[in-house]
Amino acid sequence: MKKIINNPGNFVEESIDGLVKSHPDIYAFAPDNKRVITRAKKSSNKVGIVSGGGSGHLPVFTGYVGEGLLDACAVGSVFASPSVDQISSAIRNANNGNGVLCVLGNYGGDVMNFEMACEIVASEGIKTKTVIVADDIASASNEEKSKRRGIAGMIFVFKVAGSIAETSVSLEETFNTASSANNNIRTLGVAVSPCILPEAGKPTFEISDDEIEIGMGIHGEPGIKREKLRKADPLIDDLCKRILDDFKLNDKDQVCIMINSLGATPLEELYIISKRVHENFSKLKIEITKTYVGRYATSMEMAGMSITILKLNDNLKKHLFAKSECPFWNS
């Protein structure tokens, strides 16, 4: 293992401490819990937006705290769910009296701990609703979408939910708009090489130098299939076909796309991928309104990438492109 770290046991605390010190105008520690990050300038008179999950995926989850995005985030250990206490603290710190929307990925531990935290804060008079992001088409069929994992698509949900919350609408309307975004997102990725967890000191999975795995999860969960590495264009054609087979679009639709590095894949490769995605959608006369290319949802130093498609309507477009303030997102 080669990592520029100190004690592996302090990895999470030191990384989020560095995040707060580097961006003190954006992030702050919650006064009651050092595993909860809040906005440096707390908002008022709005629905609070909260997320949380395991470390090792920056900018997800913590990096998306900021104006027009999340109000607070609970930080778990590497690839581990935040605790019920941490999530409860995040909800309390995000609450302005108008309720709190929780947006999280579809992972068993996260879902269970958020459910328990919401029950606890309900006894304190805090209203909550939850959107569970499930955009990974590799993890379940279209008929069982509720079983799909939440991956890079959750960033679009953070952005839409955060934007509409800034307009002082109700918790119910915030939930409905975030749910609309969630229902119109599909993601599919490819893993090229594994990552190494700081405390484990060994790869999360094994894969040959000439192999890739389509649909592998961000924690090394099994994908659709393992195959020999192909050239970029036929690989991207395959991924686009799988996404479009799952997500029926036509030439009247507008979409936003995200080409995301899982950690180690460089921008040059991401732009080769983006070029081919644009060519695929152009053939179908589907308009790509905006393209995001970069590291948005990672898995430590895993090499690989994901393609996320958000089908837009006027309301989603308005909130996706609304002003926000965060080091990791440009509207």
Which residue ranges make up each domain of the chain? Answer: 12-183, 185-320
State the CB neighbour count (10 A cutoff) for residue 27. Answer: 22
pLDDT at 25: 97
C-beta separation of 273 from 259 below 8 A: yes
Q: What are phi and psi of 278, to 5 degrees?
A: -60, -40
Classify domain 185-320 at the CATH superfamily level. Dihydroxyacetone kinase; domain 2 (3.30.1180.20)
CB atoms within 10 A of CB 234: 10
The residue count of the chain comes to 331
d(CA 58, CA 152): 11
Residue 278 a catalytic site member: no
What number is the average pLDDT over the span 15-27?
98
57 as an active site residue: the answer is yes
Confidence class for position 49, pLDDT limits 50, 70, 90: very high
Is pLDDT of 58 > 90?
yes
Identify whether the C-beta of residue 162 lies closer than 8 Å to the C-beta of residue 101.
no
Q: Which candidate, 83, 103, 104, 95, places its Cα nearest to that of 122?
A: 95
| SS3 label, residue 197 | coil
Which listed residue (23, 57, 278, 319) is catalytic?
57
Q: How many Cβ atoms from other residues are within 10 Å of residue 330's Cβ?
A: 8
User: The domain 12-183 is classified under which CATH number: 3.40.50.10440, 1.20.1630.10, 3.40.1790.10, 3.40.980.10?
Assistant: 3.40.50.10440
Active-site hit among 23, 219, 278, 319: 219
Tokens of 289: 């309104």
pLDDT of 330 = 82
Residue 328's region, left for phi above 0, alpha for psi from -120 to 50, else beta, is: alpha
Q: Residue 285: its pLDDT value, please?
A: 96
Q: Do 185-320 and 12-183 fall under one CATH topology?
A: no
Mean pLDDT, all residues of the chain: 96
β-bridge partners, 105: 133
